[in-house]
Structure 1
Amino acid sequence: MGQRRHREQGRHPDARAEAGAVDASTPRGSAIEVFLAFLKLGLISFGGPVAHLGYFRTEFVQRRAWLDDKSYSDLVALCQFLPGPASSQVGIALGLGRAGWPGGLCAWAGFTLPSAIALVLFGLGVSRWDALAQSGAVHGLKVAAVAIVAQAVWGMGRTLCPDRLRAGIAIVAALLVLAVPSAMGQVGAIVAGAIAGRCAVHAGRVPSTEDRDRGVRKSMGAALLLLLALLLVVLPVLAAATRSPALAVIASFYQSGALVFGGGHVVLPLLQASVVPGGLVTNDAFLAGYGAAQAVPGPLFTFAAYLGTVMNGALGGWEGGLALLVAIFVPGFLVVAGALPFWESLRRRDGIRRAMAGINAAVVGVLAAALYDPVWTSAIHSRADFGVALGAFGLLVVGRRSPVLVVALSATAGWLLAR
């Protein structure tokens, strides 16, 4: 016993640091600490998921030293692989590792609430003053959405469709969505992309790394993944059985959160198909909110809070915003917590990586179809509109300006053109 204690005490400091880094996910902080850290980031994290990941690395790897760079990169790889909002899922995983389940919830709440509150307030304004939704400034927000979605298609296409095969998968997915303009067409395009990728795409090898304990047991992970799948089946069945419009919308938003690969922009067509055709949200209000969502910090999935706020029918107001905000984020929470203990073995499977490559290519096509309808068709009505959209796209892609600045300039241009 004494000899073992002596060996432990005599271990080199670097070896102790390395061991601590591997086990950095062991809960050793408080939920309040996690909430305050993520609340600060939720107030300042502009720029989208990639920028969010940079903020997280600066705060939690460099400044607070909650984990090392390799552990952080492994978490990022996992969350890019999974469906759902990648940056929010990285935050949830960091909170779980720091303070257990309360830490995961506090990380989500701190990062999400600032933008959700801002969008709920904007939604209340749109609902109360009808003229606001028809104003020139709001039309400018819709034009800004054209440029922002076009930038997303451009950037994702270059990254996720690097060869002819994957570019072809994206084109076929776009054609399928345009031919079947519903949530069924979008889900079908993603499934077809997975099958095509599994059968035809060649994926590179994943280097071998040591397994890490992320603070979630495999039995708990399996239970969470089972709950995720059960809710995907049970919620639509309950909505159909009870004929409840509110439950049907909640089921639809849950499905959107569970099936979205490729970031927040890809959720746009799924949500549009869920709320606009049935008249729950007008297309003008939908696109105005999407433009406004670009001007707030935090995850783009908080757009769901705005939609719930402006929705007609059973849901509506801040209560509906809160309900749909939870509905769209729950799948991402379940899938990242459930996948953590299985990630190291899953990521090495060749078939899984090929299917994911096909899915990623398909979501580019889904987003490209959404760029045309509803984004372009609802926002571009004149040469002036096209000029504003083209200028905004140039600022984003060539000038590399902040989306916040581009949204503000587009809203101003829309207001001036309407005078």
Structure 2
Amino acid sequence: MIEMQTLGVRTTQPKVSLLIDDSKTLTYPELFRYASQLALFDVRTLNASHYQQFKDVFVNQTKAISEPQFEQIASLVDFIPGSTTSQMMVALGTFSKKNALGGIVALLAYTLPGAIILTILGYLYGQYPDPRDLNILIFLAIQGIKSSTVALILQLMITLAMKSINNKLHISLSILSAALFVVYQQPYVLILTMMMGGITTIMVEYDAENTIGRRTFAKEQSATPAIFNDPKLINKKNSHKISQLLGNKSLHLYSAILLILLYLNSQQQSLILDMSLSFYNIGTFMIGGTPITLPFMYAETVLNPLYINADAFWLGFGLAAALPGPYLNFAIFLGTHSMGIYGGICCWIAIFLPSILQIWGLLPHWNNLKNNVYLQKFKEGVISVAIGFLATAVYYCWVDACKYDLPTATVISFLSLVYVSLLNFNSPAVLTLGAALFIIRYLALWYYRELDPVIF
């Protein structure tokens, strides 16, 4: 339940309350079952929204969430940094069980199926430092998957650009950031560029004559009433709330974990600590959702030779797109591939933990944040910069996919883009077709044209 203190602002229209009222409270087994089912939904494209499926289950089927509550949660997770679908699951689980533990249970049910499979695949793939040591058919299938992954990321970039690029300033920021990523591939440069993009958008697009825009927070809003002002909730059993206290504790815990990781990383030379800190920072700056993580993770892992190679990076992302659960699950693939199962679990927790703490921390403050003009403009600039970074990531993915066979990989990438954009194939089908086409191509050369193609 959201507890908001009245700020003394005037009310112009009724606002939606995020209070947990008399809606149904799910049991933990029920919550786990519903969240697990949502993880198994096919996705049509890499950026497909699960919001409708979430709404069907939690609003229409279980009646655990009211529709106004759902829309408020959806608007928040679209606004703040973090993995949108994972944060949505945490919020829905918290409201459905009416306590914070429900959010953890829902997230685990949603992410674990894909994470377990990716852990196994990452461990097995980590036994072959050189992918050319694999069975020839497996090696060819991997090249096909990476070729199709190019199309999935390109479709993701196109969709994000069509939604977010609205003027010449946004186009300019995207182009400049793409060029900058090619020249300077350090993570701190990417973060600074995103911050500068957001600040530039505020400075250029802010209308000094707009009196509403001058306000740090929009005043024409009513705060969500405190729990003791709602007679329906007084003395109600299980009337737990997402309170101001929980929100503050979550933000404090986030800061404490960050400081601890920084301290431990400065005192010890540990690859696990180093990667956990990197993934924790990536989860923090994920403004705009999963697409934004790709260039950051590429800069943090592939460009550091101690971490992971490009083959494993793009393969892991492609596999995560074809498996249940959020795409950020591929963090556990990367960690397991380079450091074993324990390292994979640490990376997986590190990249999801900021999203959990952010959604709990900001839910009580959402009424004060959602109409903030500065934050809206800042986010537009950040996403414009991130689109440029994502365009560069598409290029690097294509370069890696074409490493052994430029013509075949390029053709499969183009066909995969047609499948996902025009024919609405889902991600698992596109990646499966990519793997099959690459294998068929070489089988045809070997057995029908009696050629011996050299790909090693």
**Normalised TM-score (structure 1):** 0.88
Q: Does 1:114 align with 2:113?
A: yes
The verdict on how the C-alpha distance between 1:360 and 1:220 changes in structure 2, with shifts beyond 3 A counting, is same
Q: In the alignment, what sits opposite 2:401?
A: 379
Q: In the alignment, what sits opposite 1:173?
A: 177
What's the CA shift for 1:73? 1.3
**In the TM superposition, what whole-angstrom CA distance separates every residue of 1:103-128 from its partner, at most 9, and x where no partner exists?**
01101100000110111122123123
Q: Does 1:409 align with 2:433?
A: yes
Q: RMSD in angstroms over aligned alpha carbons?
A: 2.5
What's the CA shift for 1:27? 8.4
SS in 2 for 1:162: coil
Moved more, 164-173 or 19-28: 19-28
Q: In the alignment, what sits opposite 2:363?
A: 340
In 2, the alpha carbon distance for the partners of 1:299 and 1:292 equals: 11
Tell me, yes or no, if the aligned pair for 2:272 and 2:346 is still in contact at 8 Å: no
What's the CA shift for 1:239? 0.6
Tell me, yes or no, if the aligned pair for 1:194 and 1:356 is still in contact at 8 Å: yes
In 1, the alpha carbon distance for the partners of 2:324 and 2:124 equals: 19
What's the CA shift for 1:29? 3.0
**Counterpart pick for 1:147 among 151, 155, 171:** 151
Tell me, yes or no, if the aligned pair for 2:82 and 2:283 is still in contact at 8 Å: yes
The verdict on how the C-alpha distance between 1:357 and 1:164 changes in structure 2, with shifts beyond 3 A counting, is same
What's the CA shift for 1:400? 1.7
What's the CA shift for 1:306? 0.6
Q: In the alignment, what sits opposite 2:139?
A: 135
Matches within 5 A, 1:37-186: 37-47=34-44, 48=46, 50-99=48-97, 100-129=99-128, 130=131, 131-132=133-134, 135-186=139-190
Query: Aligned residues: percent identity?
Result: 24
In 2, the alpha carbon distance for the partners of 1:327 and 1:406 equals: 30
Q: In the alignment, what sits opposite 2:329?
A: 302
Q: In the alignment, what sits opposite 1:270?
A: 296
**In the TM superposition, what whole-angstrom CA distance separates every residue of 1:42-93 from its partner, at most 9, and x where no partner exists?**
2335345543222101111111122222221111110011111101101100
Q: In the alignment, what sits opposite 1:331?
A: 354
What's the CA shift for 1:178? 1.7
**In the TM superposition, what whole-angstrom CA distance separates every residue of 1:369-406 from its partner, at most 9, and x where no partner exists?**
21112x12111241221111011011111222111111
In 2, the alpha carbon distance for the partners of 1:200 and 1:228 equals: 32
**Structure ranking higher in helix proportion:** 1
Larger gyration radius, structure 1 or structure 2: 2
What's the CA shift for 1:21? 8.3
In 2, the alpha carbon distance for the partners of 1:290 and 1:222 equals: 34
In 1, the alpha carbon distance for the partners of 2:390 and 2:124 equals: 29
Moved more, 272-281 or 228-237: 228-237
The verdict on how the C-alpha distance between 1:418 and 1:235 changes in structure 2, with shifts beyond 3 A counting, is farther
Q: Does 1:36 align with 2:19?
A: no
Matches within 5 A, 1:349-368: 349-368=372-391
The verdict on how the C-alpha distance between 1:45 and 1:106 changes in structure 2, with shifts beyond 3 A counting, is farther
Tell me, yes or no, if the aligned pair for 2:279 and 2:347 is still in contact at 8 Å: yes
In 1, the alpha carbon distance for the partners of 2:62 and 2:326 equals: 22
Tell me, yes or no, if the aligned pair for 2:26 and 2:64 is still in contact at 8 Å: no
Q: In the alignment, what sits opposite 1:293?
A: 320
What's the CA shift for 1:238? 2.2
Q: Which consecutive unaligned segments of at least 5 residues does structure 1 have?
A: 1-17
What's the CA shift for 1:200? 2.2
**Counterpart pick for 1:320 among 343, 349, 354:** 343
Moved more, 100-109 or 122-131: 122-131
What's the CA shift for 1:161? 0.7
Tell me, yes or no, if the aligned pair for 2:187 and 2:300 is still in contact at 8 Å: yes
**Counterpart pick for 1:253 among 261, 279, 287:** 279
Q: Which consecutive unaligned segments of at least 5 residues does structure 2 have?
A: 1-14, 228-239, 444-456
Tell me, yes or no, if the aligned pair for 2:408 and 2:438 is still in contact at 8 Å: no
Q: In the alignment, what sits opposite 2:257?
A: 231
SS in 1 for 2:26: coil
**In the TM superposition, what whole-angstrom CA distance separates every residue of 1:172-193 from its partner, at most 9, and x where no partner exists?**
2222222211212221221112
Q: In the alignment, what sits opposite 1:395?
A: 419
Moved more, 236-245 or 352-361: 236-245
Tell me, yes or no, if the aligned pair for 2:118 and 2:319 is still in contact at 8 Å: yes
The verdict on how the C-alpha distance between 1:358 and 1:22 changes in structure 2, with shifts beyond 3 A counting, is same
What's the CA shift for 1:26? 7.5
In 2, the alpha carbon distance for the partners of 1:276 and 1:20 equals: 45
Number of matched residues? Answer: 397
**In the TM superposition, what whole-angstrom CA distance separates every residue of 1:312-355 from its partner, at most 9, and x where no partner exists?**
xxx31x22222211111000000000000001111121111111
What's the CA shift for 1:262? 1.9
The verdict on how the C-alpha distance between 1:164 and 1:336 changes in structure 2, with shifts beyond 3 A counting, is same
